[in-house]
Every structure is written in structure tokens, then in C-alpha cells.
A and B are shown apart, each in its own frame.
Chain A
Amino acid sequence: MQESLGVVETQTVRLFTADEPFTTTDGDTVGPVDVAFETYGALNESKSNAIFILHALTGDAHAAGLHAGDTRPGWWDSIIGPGKPVDTNRFFVICANLLGGCQGTTGPSSANPATGEPYGLDFPMLSVTDLVNVHRALLRHLGIGRLLAAIGGSLGGMQVLDWGLRHPEELANAIVVAASSRLTAQNIAFSAVARRAIMSDENFKQGRYALAGVSPDVGLAIARMMAHITYVSEDALSGKFGRELRPNKDKPGFGIDFQVESYLAHQGEVFLERFDALSYVYLSRVMDYFDPFAEEGITAAIEGSPLGWLVLSFDTDWRFGTGHSRRIVRWLEGAAQPVTFREIPSPWGHDSFLLKVDRYHATVRAFLDRALEVGL
């Protein structure tokens, strides 16, 4: 019953121009803003079956299906497709690369029309609300007034939360997976080390590396290696590698001796091919500052216009563990929202949200099936 979407394509649309730029919550402007997005399935006549997919820190618009010539499907193909929990036979699914990204949507490495050169560190500081506002502009462009659901994991879940809190009239349901409403000091600390690795790489050149024809590969790879450790559980790493040495390793040295080192080095290496250092610096900072419930009166909108919330965490996630999700649930509960919460047992840590974990998928399926029954 479950199959793949087959071949899909990324489209790009210019949602803001130099003359009519996007304005950030801090009052800075960016224009033009191009947005890369993909859609799957068909929008029904009443436009009541649209689901928006919000991606995490290093995701992109290619959530499911295959790009022509590729063998690896999109990053969330496990949950999106015909017969899958986000069933493209019944839902119209939209996924867009976020503002500040580097996979088709305007970001700090895009050309600044004022100079013709990449923005670099002249790109404005962003907030989760800014990312959401660009998604909202895409939704208007597509002629959709209200979503049946928005769903995202990690930074994607943070965007869902922000969207639901500020514009509840635009969402019937919000699914927030392995996310946080406020990073802890430990989260920010990891984020700081990643940024330091990138920005102190001699090839970072104050963010003007593209002009110099170089890139801070060492720093970006270190950032990714470290982040990757936080995405998986200790047990998952032990199970996969234990203390196994690489083949033909007979005496200790300072190279890649252990299998886990080889794995991390590979993770860092492949990341360089698909991600940009400036995007990493900007978007990690977006996460650090996210704290919507600290705003006076933030729950007023949802109190007037409640929406259905599904909040999920994974028991071995130590990046955004269950405590982060429980905090979200407490706030939503306090605002009298209909909230469903589950802590899903899964050995894989934070990355579980990308994987096919049966209880997790069954929950999303049941929630979305019900959402479709009830409608907008």
C-alpha cells in the first residue's frame, strides 16, 4: 500500500522584490526573496486538504520523492507519500526551503542587489517568525487561506509552534515533533561551539569567503560532526560502532582510528557538499533566540481561536528531550488548547523524527486522518 511519490521537482518563486522587500521582525528588509518549494498530491476543490511541511536546520524543500537521476529520496520520504501517514493520495503537501537557507531560498550567501556580491554578514538577523512569514507569503501565492495542518520536527517544529501561536486562524492543526520552545544553556552552548568552529576557520574571512573563492570547510565540518553527536543517542552510537577500530588498525595514532571517527568524518564531509557556512551561522542563531512564551500575551490569539495540537517527543532525544515538549504542552494546556502529547519510545535519539518509528507514524496517521474527517 505504501509506495514512493516517484520523480518530483523543486520550483522557485520570487515572493518579494527589491522594490517590495520582505521586512523582518527587527525592521530590516531583504529583497528580492526567492523561495524554493515542492508540492505533492493535489489540492482539492474546497482547498481544505493542504499540509505544510516545515524543515529543520539543514533540511530543504525536497521532502519526499526522487529528483530525476537520484537514488536517495527526500529527507522525510519515510512519512510523506502515497499511503504513508502524510498521505499524498489525500493531502496536498507543500514544503519550502526556509529564509536564510542555502538550497534555493534567499539566504546570506545570495547576492545582495545593493552590491552584486553575496550578503555575507550584512544579511539581517532572522527570527523563527521571519521564517514563518515567508512561508505564509508562499501560501498566499498558492491561493491557500487556511492549512489543514502544519508539521515539522526540531527547528521545523519550532516554526509550527510560532505559526500556530501568532496566526491560529491559518492552521486547523499543528504537529510539533522533537522541538523546543526555548533552548537551554546546554543547547546554546553546542550552538556556540559550532559557530566558533565556522567563524574562526581562516577561510571564513568575515563571511566574504565566496568572493575569495574559498569556504570554511574545516569549521563547517566540525560544526556538523559535533551537531551530529547531539542528534543520536549514546545507545544508538554504541550499537552501531561500539569501540570498533577501523580495519588494519594495529597501533594507536592520531588519525581516524575508531569506526565512530570515520563515520563522523564522513558526516562532516558529505555535509560540505550540500550546506553553506553562513546559513549555518544564521539559522543556528535563530534557534538560540527563539522564546515565544516569554512574550507577554503570546497566547491571547490561540485562546480566541484554538487549534488542534499534537506534540511528540522521543524518549532518547537528548537535544530536545521530552522536557522541552512538556514545556510546550504546559503552555498550550494553560491556554486551554486541545493538546495531544506522546513521548515515543525510540532508540535513535533526536534523529528519530526522520525515521520510521511505528508508534510515532501511527500517531501522526491517526491525528491527520481525524483532522481530514473534521476538516477546516
Chain B
Amino acid sequence: MKLRSDLALVRDLVPRCSRVLDLGCENGELLEALFAERQCRGTGVEIDPDAVLGAISRGVPVIELDIDRQLNQFGDKSYDVVVLSRTIQTIRRPESVLQEMARIGGLLIVSVPNFGWWGHRLRLLRGRMPMSKELPYEWYNTPNLRFTTLDEIEQLFVKCRLTIERRITLGIHGDRRHGLDAWANWQAGAAIYALRAA
């Protein structure tokens, strides 16, 4: 089973035998891999009806709900790991979702596309909205509601009292980036963070 490359990076951050809550789990690909390869247990959360059905067919438990409003469904510290993979830009209230994640889990894994990537900045200078492989949408049909750079999401983590344990940055094609940390906000197409409540 070949896991999508960014999901493989997320998988590698999840400790063995964890109970994992995957917010925006799509068709359950990540959880299926975690169950099979890392002896994890867990639940997906998804709102797209077809994706929910896909997860059920894979044998991944999935709860159909709205991440923005209904995470109170989950108990305090009921999961070891809570994943929010390439989803934070589509939710209305990222700050309260991060707080809910910290309430539910111990380790939080959050991946975000970086609107600060140099190519986006160039497009903006040319008077066009950012578009790329990571952000392939036109402004009028994008599911993305929140646009952040790595610098700014990290400020939000501080505000939510989350400590960054680890940051992995990706190039614009989703490959792992090995450049200087200081240049990440220019060079990275996306980043994956491992966080814990301070």
C-alpha cells in the first residue's frame, strides 16, 4: 500500500499503538495505514458523504460531523494523537478547533499549506491570487477559507499555548524540503507540525 507522501510523513510522526483521531480523514487512508503498520486504533472524522462511505469500506471507524461545531462530541484526553491534515485552511474557526484538539488529545499533528511560498508572493505581485499544485483552486471555487503563512500559523500556535515539538517543511511538489529553517516561510509549499499543549 502506497500512502500519499504527505500522509506518510504524518504517519511517521505517530507513535506505535496510539489511539488516533484523524480530523478530515477523507477515505481513511492514513488511519488504515496506522492500523496495519503501527498497531494503532482510532477514529476518523469526515463530512463528505462519499469519503465517509469509502472509510467504512476500508474498515476505518468514521464519525460524520462538522469539525467547526461538533468536536465537543469527544471526551477530554480521549485520544493520544489528534491529526488535522491539510484541513485547517478549510475550517471557519481554526483557533477554537486547535483548542478542542488540545483538549481531546496529547500529541497534535497539523499540516498546513503555506501561502507565503515565493511563487504565491510573485503571483500576488502580478496582481493574481495564489495558485499552485498545493492550492489548485480559483478564488471563486476554493474550499479554502483561511489563508495563512507558516509565520502566522506559528503565531496562532503560540496564542493557543501549543509548543512546536517538530516541524517538517515540504517543497512545492510535496517532497521533503531540506533548506534552512529561516527560509521556510519563503521556500516551503506546506509544513507538518507536531505540537503539544504548553
Partners in one complex: yes
* Residues of A near any B CB (own CB < 8 A): 308-310, 326, 329-330, 333-334, 336, 338-343, 359, 362-363, 366-367, 369-370, 373-374
Partner of B52, one of A333, A336, A342: A342
Partner of B63, one of A308, A341, A362: A341
Residue on A nearest B57 in the bound complex, by CB: A366
Cβ distance A339 to chain B, nearest Cβ, rounded Å: 6
Point out the residues of chain B lying under 8 angstroms from A366, CB to CB. Answer: 53, 56-57
Could you name 22 residue pairs across A and B whose Cβ atoms are closer than 8 Å? A308-B61, A310-B56, A330-B73, A333-B73, A333-B74, A333-B78, A336-B41, A338-B41, A338-B61, A339-B43, A340-B55, A341-B64, A342-B52, A343-B64, A359-B49, A366-B53, A367-B56, A369-B57, A370-B57, A370-B58, A373-B59, A374-B59
- The A contact surface, by secondary structure, is helix
State whether the Cβ of B19 lies closer than 8 Å to any Cβ in chain A.
yes
B164-192 interface code vs A (CB 8 A; 1 in, 0 out)? 00000000000000000000000000000
Cβ distance B112 to chain A, nearest Cβ, rounded Å: 27
Complex CA gap A362/B64 in Å reads 15
Complex CA gap A259/B61 in Å reads 45
Complex CA gap A366/B63 in Å reads 15
Partner of A339, one of B19, B53, B61: B61
Complex CA gap A105/B59 in Å reads 37
Cβ distance A245 to chain B, nearest Cβ, rounded Å: 40
State whether the Cβ of B75 lies closer than 8 Å to any Cβ in chain A.
yes
Cβ distance B143 to chain A, nearest Cβ, rounded Å: 20
The reply to whether A362 and B59 form a contact with Cβ atoms under 8 Å apart is no
Residue on B nearest A306 in the bound complex, by CB: B41
Residue on A nearest B52 in the bound complex, by CB: A342
Complex CA gap A338/B35 in Å reads 12
Point out the residues of chain A lying under 8 angstroms from B88, CB to CB. Answer: none
Cβ distance B133 to chain A, nearest Cβ, rounded Å: 32
The reply to whether B63 and A334 form a contact with Cβ atoms under 8 Å apart is no
Point out the residues of chain A lying under 8 angstroms from B63, CB to CB. Answer: 329, 333, 339-341
The reply to whether A370 and B73 form a contact with Cβ atoms under 8 Å apart is no
How many contacts A-B (CB < 8 Å)? 53
The reply to whether A342 and B61 form a contact with Cβ atoms under 8 Å apart is no
Residue on B nearest A311 in the bound complex, by CB: B63
The reply to whether A326 and B73 form a contact with Cβ atoms under 8 Å apart is yes
The reply to whether A340 and B57 form a contact with Cβ atoms under 8 Å apart is no
Cβ distance A27 to chain B, nearest Cβ, rounded Å: 35
Complex CA gap A334/B75 in Å reads 6
Query: How many residues does chain B have at the interface if contact means C-beta atoms less than 8 Å apart?
Result: 20
Residue on B nearest A342 in the bound complex, by CB: B64
The reply to whether A363 and B73 form a contact with Cβ atoms under 8 Å apart is no
Point out the residues of chain A lying under 8 angstroms from B59, CB to CB. Answer: 370, 373-374
Residue on A nearest B45 in the bound complex, by CB: A341
Cβ distance A47 to chain B, nearest Cβ, rounded Å: 22
Complex CA gap A294/B55 in Å reads 32
Most buried by B among A333, A334, A339: A333
State whether the Cβ of B110 lies closer than 8 Å to any Cβ in chain A.
no
Complex CA gap A336/B78 in Å reads 8
State whether the Cβ of B62 lies closer than 8 Å to any Cβ in chain A.
yes
Complex CA gap A341/B57 in Å reads 14
The reply to whether A370 and B56 form a contact with Cβ atoms under 8 Å apart is yes
B52-82 interface code vs A (CB 8 A; 1 in, 0 out)? 1101111101111100000001110010000
Complex CA gap A338/B41 in Å reads 8
Complex CA gap A376/B52 in Å reads 23
B31-59 interface code vs A (CB 8 A; 1 in, 0 out)? 00000000001010000010011011111
Beyond the given A333-B74, A370-B57, A370-B58, please list 19 additional residue pairs across the A-B interface where CB-CB is below 8 A: A308-B61, A310-B56, A326-B73, A330-B73, A330-B75, A334-B78, A336-B19, A336-B41, A336-B78, A338-B41, A340-B56, A340-B62, A341-B62, A341-B63, A342-B64, A362-B53, A366-B56, A366-B57, A373-B59
Point out the residues of chain A lying under 8 angstroms from B61, CB to CB. Answer: 308-309, 338-340
Point out the residues of chain B lying under 8 angstroms from A339, CB to CB. Answer: 43, 61, 63
Residue on A nearest B76 in the bound complex, by CB: A334
Point out the residues of chain B lying under 8 angstroms from A340, CB to CB. Answer: 55-56, 61-63
Cβ distance A332 to chain B, nearest Cβ, rounded Å: 10
